[in-house]
Structure 1
């Protein structure tokens, strides 16, 4: 099972403020993000799931939550933790999933993800939600693509 984190991260590590992105909309980033995850299941927290209900990403949503275990969306599946999420994805016939947040989910999955695709947003923003710290020595950047308003980086975890 390949687990891939996808996130947009400001220079100061901010990923959100009051449940929203703290920077102006970047259409090119939204497009590449949606295209990347369109044909795969996503792993996300309940608040992130609720914030995306109008336009749910991925083919299936595996929702980690401490407060809700049933959802009124056919493509949504409850998971109690990492192992449960992976088992659910495998039961759906997939060998890859994208971890799409929020901060607690990124933090929980950080020790086990294989790749990270990070949209680096220039500048520092005020926020209340941050991408988790990670040891850059355990990772190698394998691709860096500059766009007008962000740089897309792909990181792969070093194999020991």
Structure 2
């Protein structure tokens, strides 16, 4: 199964401020993001999950939390570790699972990812949550598509 990180980040790697995006909404980015993850399970942290309850993404939500959790949503599953989250995604028959945040979840999964699909938002923003740095020796920029206000980049892990 392929693990893919999907995130929107500013030029200075900011992904959030006070639980929100620090830049004005970019509808075109939101549309491509939602379309990409719609039919696959997503892996996300509890706070990110709770912030999306009104419009949950993906075909199933694998919610990372250190404490026991139960959910009122039939598509939500609890996981305590990267291994447990990937096992759940695989048990759902997924070919791809998308890691969608927040910051601590991106950090946990960074060394396990096969691809990163990053919306690089124009400009630098103040924030309290950042996308993790990555070693450009371990990754290759596979494609780059410019849009108004952001550039969509797809990175693939370089095989040794």
TM-score above 0.5, yes or no = yes
Q: Structure 1 residue runs of 4+, over 4 Å off?
A: none
Cα distance in 2 for partners of 1:118, 1:94 equals 21
Report the Cα offset of residue 155 of structure 1: 0.2
Q: Which residue does the alignment assign to 2:114? A: 114
> What CA distance in whole angstroms lies between the structure 1 residues aligned with 2:87 and 2:3?
12
**3-state SS, counterpart of residue 159 of structure 1:** coil
The aligned residue for residue 2 of structure 1 is 2
TM, length-normalised to structure 1: 0.98
Tell me how far apart the structure 1 counterparts of residues 12 and 88 of structure 2 sit (CA, whole Å).
Answer: 34
Aligned partners of 2:121 and 2:150 also within 8 Å: yes
Task: Say whether residues 1:51 and 2:51 are aligned partners.
Answer: yes
Q: Any unmatched runs of 5+ in structure 1?
A: none
Task: Show the counterpart of 1:42.
Answer: 42
Superposition deviation, residue 68 in structure 1: 4.0
User: How far is 1:95 from its partner?
Assistant: 2.0
Q: Which residue matches 1:91?
A: 91
Question: Which TM-score applies when normalising by structure 2?
Answer: 0.98
Distance in 2 (alpha carbons) for counterparts of 1:96 and 1:148:
28
Q: Is the 8 A contact 2:62 2:88 kept in 1?
A: yes
The count of aligned residue pairs is 160
RMSD of aligned residue pairs (Cα, Å): 0.7
Matched with 1:18 is 18
TM superposition shift of 1:119: 0.2
Give the aligned partner of residue 141 of structure 1. 141
Partner of 1:131: 131
C-alpha distance in structure 1 between counterparts of 2:157 and 2:93, whole Å? 24
> Does the aligned pair in 1 maintain the 2:15–2:127 contact within 8 Å?
yes
Structure 1 Cα separation of the partners of residues 16 and 89 of structure 2: 27
**8 Å contact kept, 2:9–2:119:** yes
Q: SS state of the match for residue 137, structure 1?
A: coil
Q: Which residue of 2 aligns with 1:158?
A: 158
Which secondary structure does the structure 2 equivalent of 1:74 belong to?
coil
